[in-house]
Amino acid sequence: SFDVVALGTQGGLSGDNLTSYLIRTEGDARYIALDAGSTLPGIAKGIEKGSFPDVTPEKAAPLTPQGYIFREQINAYFISHPHLDHVAGLILGSPDDKKKTIYTLADSANTLHNHYFNWKSWPNFSDAGNGERLGTYRINSPRVGQTFTLGVTPMRGVIYPLSHNGTASSMLLISARGESFAYFGDTGADAVERSKNLDAIWRVLGPLIQQKALKGMIIETSYDDAQPDNKLLGHLTPKLLLSELTQLEKYSGGAGSLKDLPIVISHIKPTLVAGKDPQALIQQQLSAGNSLGVKFMFMQQGDKAVF
């Protein structure tokens, strides 16, 4: 089974609750961070909620429990794409982090080197690029579709490309002991993006669902159904996610094959409009259209779930 802790769940606007999830396999203390929008604030919330029961002040000493989880328990990072709301926590925490690998698409690695770790936006904590290289992070771009080991953990990963309104984004398929979990970065629907990236992924996940090996997934639903198609900016709505999942069902053995599949909804965009509750709306729209019978989950910052 996989342990997941949500460090940040929202898709923008404020800095303290941006997309980031920790995942580890049962019996191993080390996590992989799936994106790093908010890290330290999410760890603090997780401690408050009892989501890190194995970390005591005695064990963490001389660090705080928050520091110990950040430095010692996060073993490596996966960055789905280099937008600020997915990397801010990584950049801000870098001066106090220890040597780790960042796995990301080659295109995202270039952005990290050229636009963040460049001594202008931020000191170069990476192992390549301009000026002195402080070397905290080794930025590693495994080839798409190729299996690699995730840090020093029992988990292996395979990266698949996603389309996000012109930005290259990606999904990480994590596997350990014959079980798998899929983490999606920002993505639009194939029909809107004029892409086949999601279709290609559904063809990979279908057989895993048939074998009952896929324990769950995290995928975005940034906007509610009222968002017009020309303002989706590379994101999903309940209607679009449900139609994509209908494709997945076809590759998973047909009607009923997705029943009870846990799907965590991430990256909901907060609103500054008074009286609007995007999460409640998205929850209601997903539930109203859920003839597939999947188990939609709305993890909040600091929550832990076992898959």
Q: Quote the least distance from Cβ 11 to ligand CMP, whole Å.
A: 5
Residues in the chain: 307
Q: Quote the least distance from Cβ 235 to ligand CMP, whole Å.
A: 6
Residue with tokens 């008074």: 274
C-alpha 5/C-alpha 10 separation (Å) is 14
Rank residues 85 and 303 by Cβ distance to ligand CMP and give the closer one: 85
Q: Which of 3, 6, 11, 45 binds ligand CMP (CB under 6 A)?
A: 11
Q: Where in 219-248 is the site for ligand CMP (CB under 6 A)?
A: 233-234
C-alpha 267/C-alpha 204 separation (Å) is 23
Could you give the string, one character per residue 72-91, with x where binding to ligand CMP holds by CB under 6 A and - elsewhere? -----------x-x------
Q: Quote the least distance from Cβ 12 to ligand CMP, whole Å.
A: 5
Verify binding: residue 40, ligand CMP, rule CB under 6 A: no
> Do the strands 214-220 and 20-25 form a parallel or antiparallel pair, or are they unpaired?
unpaired
Contact call for residues 73 and 64 (beta carbons, < 8 A): no
* Angle, CA 38 vertex, CA 36 and CA 39 arms, to 5°: 75
Verify binding: residue 12, ligand CMP, rule CB under 6 A: yes
Q: Where in 82-141 is the site for ligand CMP (CB under 6 A)?
A: 83, 85
φ/ψ (deg, to 5) at 25: -95, 150
Could you give the string, one character per residue 160-199, with x where binding to ligand CMP holds by CB under 6 A and - elsewhere? --------------------------x-------------
Return the amino acid letter for 215: K
C-alpha 207/C-alpha 254 separation (Å) is 11
Residues forming contacts to ligand CMP in the complex (CB under 6 A) are 11-12, 83, 85, 186, 233-234
